[in-house]
Amino acid sequence: MKSIFGLLRRFWKAEFFSPSAFLVRAAILAALYAVSCASGLQEYTTFLSGTSPNVNMSWQTASTLGLIHLLLHFAFILLVPILLITSGLLAAWNCWKPGCGLPARASHQYPIQANHGEPNRPPP
Amino acid sequence: MKTNLKEWVKKASHALVAFTLATAIWLPCLHLFFRAPLTEFYQEKGVSPKARQLAARHLQLWTEPALRQIELQKMRASNAEWDFMGRTFLVWSLVNMGLREPAMKEEYLPVIDQIIQETVKIEEKDGIYAFLMPYARARPYQVSPARSLFLDGEIALMMGARRMLQEEPGYRQPMTERLNAIEQRMRSNPLMAMESYPDECWTYDEAVALVAFKVADRLDGTDHGALCQQWVAMAKEHLVDKKTGLLLSSYQINGEPLYGPEGSTIWMVAHCLQAVDEPFARDQYERARKELGRITLGFGYALEWPASWQGPMDVDSGMVVPGLGVSAGSSGMALIAASSFHDWNFLQSLVATLDMAAFPSRQNGRLKYCASNQVGDAALLYASVLGPLWESIRKP
């Protein structure tokens, strides 16, 4: 449990442009959309057809609820996947950018050479 | 500090590039998650799964009065016309479904009769204004006694369609009376103009009335062929917008245009004209498709107004998405026309949009679109089953 909270804290405090930060944003949007669906706000999207969603509620209130669900829906189907892909791309970039991912000892002592079919060998 | 800023800008630009790339990857893929095989929505033979689920929801509304009352209250609070059109689209749909699956006729006929009889009863009790928008009372009809072609045409076609599914002698006389009244008015002025609202003539209602004449010809051996062709010739001469070649939506009884080519009207007009004058109907459909139909990133939609005509967002157009001009009303009616003219690619794209943006909700085998309403869902049901009725009218 502690480790889960630790992971969540790490994600929450992630640097603004880091892959984790994009993951957190996607997760927040997905969670908000799930809450909206569970609350049945999709019923209020009937305002799009010009119909009163609920005759016992003011048109403005009902339309606002419908609009909230509409925005969350589009955030879920458009933004969430884009944020996830962004996160993946950034993570890949961070892994494969020059000088990253190599053991510190190897990068200091044995500079990487172009691989022409020969495996890298330490200098004699 | 300078290094921090430099580092921040570097990271921000990386993130921006990744975000742009992610957008470029995702947007073209999005439609794949909503694009189902077309047979889910429309089948040339039999009834598609979606049509069956939509119909189940409507049949439930007509067998559970309390539920229907809630739906009607919601719609009538916005527009009494929708209550009426929800009935007509449902009757035409059930007739098409009955023609597709004759074994189901016995289930549909009582509902069809209930709808027709209740509708006529309301009209008799509360008058034509029961199904018209309040502005109909603002001024008198030009031709008296006041009659609305909107009601006469659609009720006549409901009765005719019912008789096409299975003859019911009780509907013959009231149908003939309505059609005679329409014919008399058509012949009373050179533009064959018939009011739906005071001094407002709608090509939508005229096209529906022409189909009702065709149904009567098929059932009762009358011949309104010349009358229909006369209307088509008059429309080509007087009711076509010069820039787009599309029919106007509405005009005054003296021929003065009111609304130009409106998506929520022209798609249905093209569909109805298919039963009257196929080449003219196809020409109208193709022009509408060019001027109003769009497919972007695999999603189909329709505009309410062509680029050459500035029109308002109103009760017919439904919500119009600012900037894109996407109209809920026009897109819904475009499904009917795309289905009617077998424009499968456009139809499939429109259905993808429907599933993406109209919030389908399924419960116990019943389907409704939350962003729509009863009339919208009835029109969608009609788009998913139309065909057999028009075929039987056109049969030589």
Q: What interface predicted TM-score (ipTM) does this complex get? A: 0.85
| pLDDT the model gives residue A105 | 46
Interface of A with B in 91-120 (CB under 8 A): 93
Cis bond upstream, residue B145 (ω within 30)? yes
Q: Is B259 left (phi over 0), alpha (psi -120 to 50) or beta?
A: beta
- Structure-model confidence comparison of residues B309 and B268, the more confident one: B268
| pLDDT the model gives residue A115 | 47
* Burial of A68 (C-beta count, 10 Å sphere; 0-12/13-18/19+): middle
| Long-range Cβ pairs for the range B172-180 (8 Å, 24+) | B172/B219, B172/B220, B174/B120, B175/B212, B175/B216, B176/B216, B176/B220, B178/B152, B178/B153, B178/B212, B179/B209, B179/B212, B179/B213, B179/B216, B179/B224
Indicate whether B243 belongs to any domain.
yes
Q: What share of chain B is helix, strand, coil (3-state, %, to 5)?
A: 65, 10, 25
Q: How far apart are CA B353 and CA B304, in angstroms?
A: 16
Indicate whether B244 belongs to any domain.
yes
Of A49, A81, A86, the CB nearest to B376: A49
Indicate whether B326 belongs to any domain.
yes
Tell me if B366 sits within 8 A of B57, measured CB to CB: yes
Of A49, A78, A93, the CB nearest to B18: A93
- Per CB distance under 8 Å, which residues of B are interface residues toward A? 11-12, 14-15, 18-19, 21-23, 25-27, 30, 33, 70, 73-75, 77-79, 82, 315, 318-319, 328, 356, 358-359, 361, 370-373, 376
Burial B340-370 (b: 16+ CB within 10 A, else e): bbebeebbbbbbbbbbbbbbbeeeeebbbbb
Nearest one of B357, B358, B334 to B263, comparing CA atoms: B334
Nearest 5°: CA angle at B57, between B159 and B156?
A: 10
Of A47, A77, A90, the CB nearest to B15: A90
Indicate whether B25 belongs to any domain.
no
- Structure-model confidence comparison of residues B127 and A9, the more confident one: B127
Phi, psi torsion values for B366, nearest 5 degrees: -115, 135
Q: How far apart are CA B268 and CA A109, in angstroms?
A: 77
| pLDDT the model gives residue B242 | 93
A56 near B CB under 8 A: no
| pLDDT the model gives residue A118 | 45
Q: How far apart are CA B293 and CA A117, in angstroms?
A: 56
DSSP for B4-54, please give it: HHHHHHHHHHHHHHHHHHHHHHHHHHHGGGT---GGGT--SSS--HHHHHH
Q: How far apart are CA B139 and CA A58, in angstroms?
A: 30
Indicate whether B53 belongs to any domain.
yes
| pLDDT the model gives residue B331 | 94
Indicate whether B348 belongs to any domain.
yes
| pLDDT the model gives residue B117 | 96
Q: How far apart are CA B178 and CA B205, in angstroms?
A: 14
DSSP-assigned letter for residue B251: E
Nearest one of B362, B320, B29, B325 to A77, comparing CA atoms: B29
**Chain A CA closest to residue B79:** A51
CB contact under 8 A, A45 and B376: no
> Mean pLDDT, chain B, as a whole number?
93
Least confident window among A46-60, B135-149, B258-272: A46-60
CB contact under 8 A, A90 and B319: no
Q: Structurally, how many domains does chain B consist of?
A: 1
Q: Is the Cα dihedral A52, A57, A59, A63 positive or negative?
A: negative
Residues in A touching B74 (Cβ below 8 Å): 46, 51-55
CB contact under 8 A, A51 and B373: yes
Does position B313 have pLDDT exceeding 70, yes or no? no
Where residue B353 falls among pLDDT bands split at 50, 70, 90? very high
Q: How far apart are CA B332 and CA B317, in angstroms?
A: 10
In angstroms, how far is CA B225 from the centroid of its own chain? 24
Q: How far apart are CA B143 and CA B241, in angstroms?
A: 26
Calculate how close chain A gets to B105, using CA atoms only, in Å: 31
Calculate how close chain B gets to A54, using CA atoms only, in Å: 7
Residues in A touching B372 (Cβ below 8 Å): 46, 48-49
Per-residue pLDDT tens over the stretch B141-167: 999 899 999 999 999 999 999 999 999
DSSP-assigned letter for residue B135: G
Residue B159, domain CATH: 1.50.10.10
A53 near B CB under 8 A: yes
Q: How far apart are CA B265 and CA B303, in angstroms?
A: 12
Query: Domain range spanning residue B49?
Result: 38-394
Residues in B touching A45 (Cβ below 8 Å): 359, 370-371
CB contact under 8 A, A51 and B25: no
Residue A76: Cβ within 10 Å count: 18
Calculate how close chain A gets to B242, using CA atoms only, in Å: 31
**Chain B CA closest to residue A21:** B15
Indicate whether B336 belongs to any domain.
yes
As beta bridge partners, residue B377 has: none
Nearest one of B391, B368, B318, B383 to B60, comparing CA atoms: B368
In angstroms, how far is CA B113 from the centroid of its own chain? 22
Of B27, B73, B373, the CB nearest to A46: B373
Of B12, B18, B373, the CB nearest to A86: B18
CB contact under 8 A, A42 and B22: no
Residue B339: Cβ within 10 Å count: 24
CB pairs under 8 A between A and B: 90
CB contact under 8 A, A47 and B74: no
Per-residue pLDDT tens over the stretch A56-115: 888 889 999 999 999 999 999 999 999 999 999 999 998 887 665 554 444 444 444 444
Where residue B2 falls among pLDDT bands split at 50, 70, 90? low
Q: What share of chain A is helix, strand, coil (3-state, %, to 5)?
A: 70, 0, 30
Nearest one of B263, B267, B255, B162 to B212, comparing CA atoms: B162
Where residue B115 falls among pLDDT bands split at 50, 70, 90? very high
Per DSSP, the three-state class of B299 is strand
